Structure 1
Amino acid sequence: MRWTTLSVVVLLLVTGCSGGESSVPGGTPSAIDQLVAKAPVAANVPAGSTMARIKERGELLIGGSLDAPLLSLQNPGTGELTGFDADLGKLLAKYLVGEPKTKLVTSTSETREPLLANGTVDVILQTYTITPQRAERVAFAGPYYESGQTIAVRRGTTGIAKPADLAGRKVVVGANTPAIAAVKAAAPTAELVEFGSDPECLTALRQGRGEAYVQDQALLIADASQDNELEIVGEPFTKDPYGIGIKHGDEQFKQFVNDWLREIQKSGLWQDVWRNSIGTVVSGPPPSPPVIGSAQGS
Structure 2
Amino acid sequence: MTRITRKATAAGILLAAVTLAISACSGTTSLPGSDSSASAGADSVLTGAPVASADLILPNSTMEAIKKRGKLVVAEALDAPLLSQQDPTNPDQVTGFDADLAKLLAIYILGKPNVEIVPPASETREAMLQNGTVDVVFNTYTITEERATQVDFAGPYFESGLAVAVKSDNDTIKSVKDLDGKHVIVGANTPAVTAVPEVAPTAKVTAFATDPAAVQALIQGRGDAYVQDYTLLASDAASEKQIKVVGAPFTKEPYGIGLKHGDSDFKSFINEWLKTIQKGGQWGQAWKTTLGTVTDSAIPTPPEIGSVPGS
What TM-score does the superposition give when structure 2 sets the normalisation length? 0.67
Q: How does 1:109-120 map to 2 (within 5 A)?
A: 109-120=122-133
Q: Which one of 33, 38, 49 corresponds to residue 43 of structure 2?
A: 33
Distance 1:40 1:229, change over 3 A: closer
Contact 1:18 1:32 in 2 (8 A): no
2:255 matched to which residue of 1?
Answer: 242
C-alpha offsets along residues 186-214 of structure 1, whole Å, 9 cap, x if unaligned? 79xxxxx9xxxxxxx768989xxxxxx99
Secondary structure of 1:161's counterpart equals: strand
The count of corresponding residues between Structure 1 and Structure 2 is 246
CA contact (8 A) 1:161 1:234 kept: no
Q: 1:263 to 1:231 in 2, by over 3 A?
A: closer
The 3-state SS of whatever aligns with 1:220 is helix
The answer as to 2:306 corresponding to 1:293 is yes
The structure-2 alpha-carbon separation of the partners of 1:120 and 1:214, relative to structure 1 and needing over 3 Å to count, comes to: farther
Q: Secondary structure of 1:271's partner?
A: helix
Aligned partner (choices 281, 294, 301) of residue 281 of structure 1: 294
Letter in 2 for 1:275: K
Give the conservation status (yes or no) of the 8 Å contact 1:23–1:30. no
Judging changes above 3 Å, is the alpha-carbon distance between structure 1 residues 60 and 204 closer, same or farther for their aligned structure 2 residues? farther
For structure 2, the residue ranges without an aligned partner over 5 or more in a row are: 1-19, 23-32, 166-181, 197-208, 216-225
Q: C-alpha displacement at 1:282, in angstroms?
A: 1.2
Residues 257 and 70 from structure 1, CA distance in 2 versus in 1: closer, same or farther, beyond 3 angstroms?
same
- Is 1:147 aligned to 2:160, yes or no? yes
How far is the alpha carbon of 1:229 from its aligned partner?
Answer: 9.3
> Per the alignment, in what secondary structure is the counterpart of residue 65 of structure 1?
coil
Q: Which residue of 2 aligns with 1:61?
A: 73
CA distance in 2, matches of 1:112, 1:266: 29
- The question of whether the paired residues in 2 share the 8 Å contact of 1:162 and 1:233 is answered with no
Measured in 1, the distance between the counterparts of 2:151 and 2:262 equals 8
Match of 1:12 in 2: none
How far 1:23 moved relative to its partner?
Answer: 3.2
Q: Does 1:161 align with 2:172?
A: no
1:107 corresponds to which of 117, 120, 136:
120
On the 8 A contact 2:21/2:115 being kept in 1, the answer is no
Q: 1:215 and 1:29, CA in 2 relative to 1: closer, same or farther beyond 3 A? A: closer
Residue 159 of structure 2 aligns to a residue whose secondary structure is strand
Superposed CA offset, 1:126-162 (max 9, x none) = 111111111111111001111114699xxxxxx9837
Who is 1:138 aligned against?
A: 151
Name the SS for the 1:242 alignment partner: strand
8 Å CA contact 2:246–2:296 kept in 1: the answer is no
- What's the CA shift string for 1:17-56, capped at 9, x where partnerless? 998xx8328x998332333230111112001001111111
User: Is the 8 Å Cα contact of residues 161 and 233 (structure 1) preserved in structure 2?
Assistant: no
The amino acid of 1:63's aligned partner reads A
Closer, same or farther: CA 233–141 of 1 in aligned 2, 3 Å: same
Report 1:264-279 matches (<5 A).
Answer: 264-279=277-292
Cα shift at 1:260:
0.2
**The residue matched to 1:51 in structure 2 has which SS?**
helix
Relative distance call for 1:237 and 1:277 in structure 2 (3 A) is closer
Is 2:234 aligned against 1:221?
A: yes
Q: Secondary structure at the match of 2:140?
A: strand
Q: Tell me by how many angstroms 1:233 deviates.
A: 11
Q: Secondary structure of the residue that 1:241 maps to in structure 2?
A: strand
CA distance in 2, matches of 1:28, 1:224: 22
1:126 matched to 2:139: yes
Identity of aligned residues (%): 48
Larger relative contact order (CA 8 Å, sep ≥ 6): 1
Alpha-carbon distance change, 241 to 138 in structure 1, aligned in 2, over 3 angstroms? same
Judged with a 3 Å threshold, the aligned counterparts in structure 2 of structure 1 residues 70 and 288 are, in CA distance, closer, same or farther, namely: same
Aligned-pair distance for 1:219? 2.5
Aligned equivalents of 1:47, 1:145: Cα separation in 2:
30
Q: Per the alignment, do residues 94 and 274 of structure 1 end up closer, same or farther by CA in structure 2, a change over 3 Å counting? A: same
Structure 1 unaligned segments of length 5 or more: list them.
1-16, 153-158, 172-178, 188-192, 194-200, 207-212
- Which residue identity is paired with 1:74? Q
Question: Structure 1 residues 49 and 235 mapped into 2: Cα distance closer, same or farther (>3 Å)?
Answer: closer
CA contact (8 A) 2:154 2:258 kept: yes
